[in-house]
Amino acid sequence: MTQSLFLARDDVARARLAQSAVAYAFGVSQDDLEAPTRRSREAAFARQVAMYLAHIAFELSLTRVAQAFGRDRSTAAHACHRIEDQRDDRGFDASMDALEACLRAAPQPGDPA
């Protein structure tokens, strides 16, 4: 496999991990988050949170986030801006900090088991 295929595979795995954490924290189904359509307002917001966390916690570029989530770069950028604006709320900010810490603590590919 080429380096770019490894990166793409790892990016998708990170996106799924972010989606799983957000689905659990927000009480939204993983299927709704992975759907190609918006589904509900709650699912769309949770998907934006997952994109934001993939960008922040895993330090993925917006282009890589978009590719991992099967979206456009502008969609990923919009999601990150929207969530960043929401972080003025102390409760929401604390939730984002906790989810980010959880994702940063996850083992990375190649880490010893």
Looking at the domain assignment, is residue 61 inside a domain? yes
Residue 89 backbone zone (phi > 0: left; psi -120 to 50: alpha; other: beta): beta
Report the CATH number that the domain containing residue 42 is assigned in CATH: 1.10.1750.10
The CA distance from 85 to 99, in Å, is 17
pLDDT value of residue 37: 79
Looking at the domain assignment, is residue 111 inside a domain? no
The CA distance from 60 to 51, in Å, is 10
Looking at the domain assignment, is residue 98 inside a domain? yes
**Residue owning tokens 């603590």:** 105
Looking at the domain assignment, is residue 93 inside a domain? yes
Share of the chain above pLDDT 90, in %: 75
38 pLDDT above the threshold of 80 = no
The CA distance from 3 to 26, in Å, is 34
Looking at the domain assignment, is residue 99 inside a domain? yes
> What pTM does this model have?
0.89
Looking at the domain assignment, is residue 113 inside a domain? no
Are the beta carbons of 49 and 19 closer than 8 angstroms? Answer: no
3 pLDDT above the threshold of 70 = no
Looking at the domain assignment, is residue 112 inside a domain? no
- Tell me how many domains the chain contains: 1
> What are 49-83's pLDDT values in tens digits?
999 999 999 999 999 999 999 999 999 999 999 99
Looking at the domain assignment, is residue 23 inside a domain? yes
Range of the domain at 39: 3-105
Are the beta carbons of 92 and 49 closer than 8 angstroms? Answer: no
DSSP three-state, residue 95: helix
